[in-house]
Amino acid sequence: MLIGAIEAGGTKFVCSVMDEFNETKDRCVIQTQKPEDTLAEVVDFFKDHPIESLGVGAFGPIDLNVKSDTYGTIKNTPKKEWKDFPLLDELKRIIGVPVAVDTDVNAACLGEFRFGAAEDVDSAMYITIGTGVGAGFVKDDEVFKGVTHPEMGHIKVKKMDGDTFRGSCPYHEDCIEGLVSGPAIEKRTGIKGADISVDDPVWETVAHYIAEALVNYTLVLCPERIIIGGGVMKQAHLYPLIRTEFKKILNDYIEIDDVETYITAPLLNDDQGVIGAAALSKDIRG
Ligand code: ADP
Ligand code: ZN
């Protein structure tokens, strides 16, 4: 029995065919181009594999309101060719199997929840800090959604005294994405994150803002674990800095047993999105 999974990102689509034990049988990476060209390559890949269903973790925003006429349609993305593209319906049509869709971060959260860093708890958040900032929340094996998927990457945090950086979010300037995403760090320093030395004071600023956001998420959701991934978190020295700031800001208001395990790195080696997408697809098969 084979299942299909796609991590549909803004720069690349990772397509995978897996068996029921998450064993990868085949995999390919497609550059994200215009929708028709990208999906033509997706079909080409899956046509050789008799998958029973397909799960997709997609870049967004995407309409995830099951009652909406445009359920599964990409919404207000800066990637103009994808705006209003009915991703779910098109994939169903061209692949011809049942398809489940969720956001990339919700899929990643489900992947880590079932098979990775949150396997031992009943609720967890996954946050990516990369080109953008996004987060998902899973409780009792279910991805949380309301009117649509949450947009936790765009919350406001208190600006540090003396910080004159205006932020990089085109919608809100200094929301958390506008302060700590890879492009935000590059705009602030003029240097790509990967090239900034580990002892540069900018990392303390970044860690402080991430900790502010984590305190807010903790106060609202009380997850049992927070997993932080994404390109910026390749700076592994950020984890201890974030934990220290988090403890200071939360000030014991909620008792967290062990911040070391509460705020942690992903365990699925950048495969959490595709593994989570496969998990979504298993769920529709029942
Ligand atoms: P995406 O968010 O597009 O899926 P990533 O999670 O890899 O992709 O994030 C890409 C962003 O992370 C870029 O803005 C890049 O500058 C930044 N980044 C990648 N590697 C590092 C690193 N080692 N240190 C700091 N920032 C990094
Ligand atoms: Zn924003």
Report the nearest-CA residue for atom 27 of ligand 1.
232
Q: What pLDDT is attached to residue 284?
A: 78
Per the structure, the count of domains in the chain is: 2
Q: Ligand 1: does its nearest atom lie under 6 Å from the Cβ of 167?
A: no
Burial of 144 (0-12, 13-18, 19+ CB in 10 A): middle
Residue 37 belongs to a domain:
yes
Report the nearest-CA residue for atom 3 of ligand 1.
131
Give yes or no: residues 96 and 170 share one domain.
Answer: no
Q: Ligand 1: does its nearest atom lie under 6 Å from the Cβ of 68?
A: no
Give yes or no: residues 224 and 143 share one domain.
Answer: yes
Question: Closest ligand 1 atom to the C-alpha of 182?
Answer: 14
Residues of the chain scoring pLDDT < 50? none
Q: Ligand 1: does its nearest atom lie under 6 Å from the Cβ of 166?
A: no
SS (H, E, C) the chain: CEEEEEEECCCEEEEEEECCCCCEEEEEEEECCCHHHHHHHHHHHHCCCCEEEEEEEECCCECCCCCCCCCCCECCCCCHHHCCCCHHHHHHHHHCCCEEEEEHHHHHHHHHHHHCCCCCCCEEEEEEECCCEEEEEEECCEECCCCCCCCHHHCECCCCCCCCCCCCECCCECEHHHHHCHHHHHHHHCCCHHHCCCCCCHHHHHHHHHHHHHHHHHHHHCCCCEEEECHHHHCCCHHHHHHHHHHHHHCCCCCCCCHHHHEECCCCCCCHHHHHHHHHHHHHHC
Give yes or no: residues 163 and 242 share one domain.
Answer: yes
Residue 226 belongs to a domain:
yes
pLDDT tens for 94-119 read: 999 999 999 999 999 999 999 999 99
Residue 41 belongs to a domain:
yes
Ligand nearest to the CA of 183: 1
Residue 110 belongs to a domain:
no
Other residues' Cβ atoms within 10 Å of the Cβ of residue 258: 8
Return the best residue to mutate from 232, 233, 268 for the ligand 1 pocket (most ligand atoms within 8 A of CB): 232
Range of the domain at 129: 117-264
Give yes or no: residues 276 and 251 share one domain.
Answer: no
Give yes or no: residues 93 and 44 share one domain.
Answer: yes
Reference 244, options 199, 198, 212, 201; nearest CA is 212
Give yes or no: residues 157 and 51 share one domain.
Answer: no
CATH number at residue 224: 3.30.420.40
Q: What pLDDT is attached to residue 285?
A: 60
Q: What pLDDT is attached to residue 76?
A: 86
Give yes or no: residues 254 and 136 share one domain.
Answer: yes
Give yes or no: residues 46 and 124 share one domain.
Answer: no
Residue given tokens 């990102």 in the structure block = 9
